[in-house]
Amino acid sequence: MTQITYDQCLAEMFALRRFGIKLGLDIIDAMLAGLGRPEKNFSVIHVAGTNGKGSIASALAAILHAAGYRVGLYTSPHLVRFNERICINGQQIPDSGVVEAYRAVKAVAPAEREPTFFEYATAMALYAFDKAEVDWAVIETGMGGRLDATNILAPALCVISNISLEHKSYLGNTIAQIAAEKGGIIKPGTPAVTGVHQKSAVSVLEEIAAENNAPLFRRGREFRVRRKRTKGGEPGFTYLGLYHRWTDMHSSLRGIHQLDNSALVLAACEVLMRQNVSLTLDAVKNGMENHRWPGRLEILDTRPAIIIDGAHNLIAARRLAAFLADYAGNRRVTMVIGILDDKPYMAMLKSLLPLCDRLIFTRPVIERSLPAETLLQAAREFTGPAEIIEDVATAVFTAMDVTSPEDVVCIAGSLYVVGEARAALENGHWLNAE
């Protein structure tokens, strides 16, 4: 293969997005076979669910690294740079690592069908983790689970965060159908931890687990958390778990919903401990308190303060609304928002707009983004100032200009909006590059 630069590599990969999403395992299986089965050389934690996958996966990776393991973390989508998807010991792989992995995967790509962008990225991550000789890889699904490219793995542990209606054209029209797709990551004899609560979804997961003779541990049944306030006023919690009771616990991530994610992380740690994985409580606390997950209730200490949150579906929008109501208090809020066309934008706006004093509708550079005019029309009952600025960077800096230093700018609606906003803020030196 001729030499290829980093930019050429990404251009070729991003061009594959025009082929859309193709669920199935045959192509990724052939790619990994051609690479010599890199996924067999490390232990895996597989994380699925509607919301919280990235927060859970990044926390588990941080905990394992704090315990002294070499750890790979594979997540999606990226916010600013592709390299964010593939991290080793908390660091994004370098551009040279992306090129090396792409060349290796391209050389073994099967002829019967062009692999999708996500299939390439998944194979590249597993190749990179093998080359780096990681002990553990924490892998987040892309969509669903059963036919997701990541489901080629044989994990030591599965985590299914929660379930709501999403990607219905691919995963099904009911909670039970979507639960069956996400529950498809459960493997024979492999323990699974979940925060799923709907009766229909729980029933499906329990049936899948029973068929696979896989232990299933549920939040609210085998483990739970209890919120408390510490002496310093900072939020903390007590974890009442499978085998332990851990007090004075903290998460570095904001939002009351992170308690649910933290419960799943800690239950996963307990399961790993029972598998004789060397984890101490100190390592668990260290990882929980120090890991970072940008673009999710991220607050910049600027004037005006800037909140950056993907809030990319209805549940996430409601969680942002709850946080914003508490955080903003009497301060006025300018919201920069753009939403993708497969999201329930009317319901999302209904959750968020009552908290806003000014709106700027924008549109990220992705084919699936809704026209800003559509969002403006949907918000016609909003009585405050509202405008369209389609370029995300311009929208962000306009919001900063028109908002007083004592008030708040909130950027939300899509991780693609958040990615473009963070890139603009980094380039403007308002945000340190990761």
Q: Residue-wise over 156-187: b if at least 16 C-beta within 10 A, else e?
A: bbbbbbbbebbeeeebbeebbebbbbbbbbbb
What's the start-to-end Cα distance of the chain, in Å? 32
Q: Taking each helix axis as running N to C, give the angle between helix 281-290 and helix 258-274, from 0 to 180 degrees, rounded to the nearest 10.
A: 150
pLDDT over 60 at 433, yes or no:
no
pLDDT tens-digit readout, 245-304: 999 999 989 888 889 999 999 999 999 999 999 999 999 999 999 888 899 899 998 999
* Residues 28, 248: Cα–Cα separation, whole Å: 43
CATH 3.40.50.10420 fits 298-427, yes or no: no
Task: Give residue 320's identity as a one-letter amino acid code.
Answer: L
Show the beta-strand stretches assigned E in 52-99.
71-74, 86-88, 91-92
Tens of pLDDT, residue by residue over 376-385, are 999 998 989 9
Task: Tell me what pLDDT residue 398 has.
Answer: 97
Using the 8-state DSSP alphabet, how is residue 219 labeled?
A: B
Contact 65, 91 (CB under 8 A): no
pLDDT computed for residue 172 by the predictor: 65
Q: Closest Cα to residue 431, out of 332, 294, 328, 334?
A: 294
Residues 6+ apart with CB under 8 A from 295: 79, 308, 309, 310, 415, 418, 419, 422
Mean pLDDT is lowest, of 20-29, 48-57, 206-215, 288-297, for 20-29
Instruction: Write out pLDDT tens, residues 48-76.
Output: 999 899 999 999 999 999 999 999 999 99
- The yes-or-no answer to whether 6-290 and 298-427 have a common fold is no
Q: Which of 263, 158, 269 is nearest to 219 (CA)?
A: 263
- C-beta pairs of 277-282 under 8 Å, 24+ apart in sequence: 277/67, 278/67, 278/68, 279/63, 279/64, 279/67, 280/67, 281/246
Per-residue confidence (pLDDT) for residue 16, from 0 to 100: 85
pLDDT at position 231 is: 53
Q: Locate the domains of the chain by residue range.
A: 6-290, 298-427
Q: What is the DSSP letter of 429?
A: T
The whole-number average pLDDT for the span 214-230 is: 90
Nearest alpha carbon to residue 152 among 58, 37, 61? 37
Residue 248 Ramachandran class (φ > 0 left, ψ -120 to 50 alpha, else beta): left
Question: At the top level of CATH, which class does the domain 6-290 belong to?
Answer: alpha beta
pLDDT, tens only, 332-342? 999 999 999 98
Q: What does the pLDDT read at residue 434?
A: 44
- Residue 373 confidence class, pLDDT cut points 50, 70, 90: very high
CA dist 246 and 248 (Å) reads: 7
Six-digit token string for 135: 């002990």
Give the separation between CA 422 and CA 429, rounded to whole angstroms: 10
pLDDT at 233: 47
Residues 57, 159: Cα–Cα separation, whole Å: 9
Neighbour-count burial of 114, counting CB atoms closer than 10 A to its CB (0-12 exposed, 13-18 middle, 19+ buried) = middle
Q: How many helices (H) and strands (E) does the chain have?
A: 15, 17
Q: How far is CA 306 from the centre of its chain?
A: 21
Average per-residue pLDDT in the chain?
92
DSSP H or E segment with residue 239: strand 235-240
Specify the 3-state DSSP secondary structure of 206: helix
